[in-house]
Structure 1
């Protein structure tokens, strides 16, 4: 592997874990860890455990009460790394978080890793929790899981939020898509990704298999454009202006969902699009202070209301 690419990937992996660990006070230039952030705000799950789904023992946690929202993490992530600073911001909601196949405390099984399979796992989790319908929020890999969840289990989706996620392999910038093939276990040696993998009691000897398996879902071409454009649930899409996701990819879906028209003339679409300034793919998870008000406004809005007038 090219030395520059190897170094860049390692830096990215370190940045993923450190950026996702920063709390909502990041905007105030603090770097509180996930554990400290949760403890400081007395955030404790009201329910936690494992549920048997599709041959998997899936780990989950539930916080708070109210309208349910499910948070789906990114590649190589887990609940504390991806969501500890977001959960306290989702007030007056039942927040359901789970760790996908092979991630965190959900041990891997001899099953191909796929967006479709992970979506089906989430569906079974909601049935176990007796949640008929929920808002679904997915980040990066979790965005792909969320798209497939809405395609395969539309009756369980109220509204859909996608942060830096794609519905086709060419939704990434070409250099980003090409980079995936360069991922090797060596890139992660000594990184926070490897340390958190070991901390959850996984077999260190299988770390290389874990790395290869997780990236495998993005090495195979996929295109769910037709199915995703038929999703009936209102959709909120957010990408960074320096994200790995192409602007045109997000715009194409937004137009298919009724966007691309002047709302004062044609009425407001039920779906929404945001391009967050000064924000990278990894940096998206540092923008909770901006994102959560927009997301909650979308989730709580009367989408049939007329546009504001003078």
Structure 2
């Protein structure tokens, strides 16, 4: 467990295991603890680098707006600081957006990309989820005091009093429109999309996202099947998919299968 000074931040990360690096990025208001239930399955096969994103967990706020693009640059700077030229990158929800932007902005650093409960455009969220995210602000932070998320933050954050600031910055980020469809279609690495069957992202967006990666063509013999994959995990929701043993069961085979060369 350590901090790395990059891009004007002290980014907290922890390493465990051995083998090819797998970098884990958590969701909104979370920290590396989000992966505790699945860590043992991953660390048995991979060298894990779990990261606390800016303003989250043990990484202090940087007195700047939260942006997917800048957080992606922070992750890339950390990978270079750790001399990791090519990693497998897994991001969940907010961390999925950061992972996707990392792959778009720094494609040579990412060998394979896993996005868990992540849309490629803001309109990919369910309308109810969009309405809830739009209401994230300091008042919402006060209502969330005493919840498990707040208690974890208060226990590990360098400045626990920044809890309302995190909600203000997060709400401003989550209200910003984006559509990365064109950039997704140009990604050079294999991508695994993982969703819950009761996710905050509708199935139609899952299919659209997979289509951008060349999926869903319906060929009978699989000759045109892309290197990317789509997994919809049954009996789960956006809140619990990241802690389910079904997640490493879907992810690990994707990370080890031999991808077919394009064309």
> Structure 1 length normalisation: TM-score?
0.79
1:137 counterpart (86, 90, 112): 90
Output the CA distance in 2 between the equivalents of 1:301 and 1:202.
40
The answer as to whether partners of 2:56 and 2:157 remain within 8 angstroms in 1 is no
Q: Are 1:210 and 2:166 an aligned pair? A: yes
2:248 counterpart (292, 296, 303): 292
The answer as to whether partners of 1:263 and 1:269 remain within 8 angstroms in 2 is no
The one-character-per-residue Cα deviations of 1:138-197 (angstroms, maximum 9, x if unpaired) are 001011001100100000010110110112111101111011122322321221222222
Name the SS of the counterpart of 2:240 in structure 1: helix
Name the SS of the counterpart of 1:220 in structure 2: coil
Q: 1:55 maps to what in 2?
A: 8
By how many angstroms is 1:214 displaced? 2.0
By how many angstroms is 1:263 displaced? 5.1
By how many angstroms is 1:201 displaced? 4.7
Against the structure 1 CA distance between its residues 53 and 175, is the aligned structure 2 distance closer, same or farther, given a 3 Å change threshold? same
Against the structure 1 CA distance between its residues 206 and 131, is the aligned structure 2 distance closer, same or farther, given a 3 Å change threshold? closer
2:125 counterpart (164, 172, 177): 172
The answer as to whether partners of 1:51 and 1:58 remain within 8 angstroms in 2 is yes
Q: 1:88 maps to what in 2?
A: 40
Against the structure 1 CA distance between its residues 268 and 78, is the aligned structure 2 distance closer, same or farther, given a 3 Å change threshold? same
Which entry has the higher C-alpha Rg, 1 or 2?
1
Name the SS of the counterpart of 1:85 in structure 2: helix
Q: 1:220 maps to what in 2?
A: 176
RMSD: 1.5
Q: 1:275 maps to what in 2?
A: 232
Unaligned runs of 5+ in 2: none
Unaligned runs of 5+ in 1: 1-47, 306-310
Output the CA distance in 1 between the equivalents of 2:129 and 2:45.
37
> Structure 2 length normalisation: TM-score?
0.92
- Report the number of matched residues: 256
The one-character-per-residue Cα deviations of 1:99-126 (angstroms, maximum 9, x if unpaired) are 0001111010111111111111111111
Q: Are 1:147 and 2:100 an aligned pair? A: yes
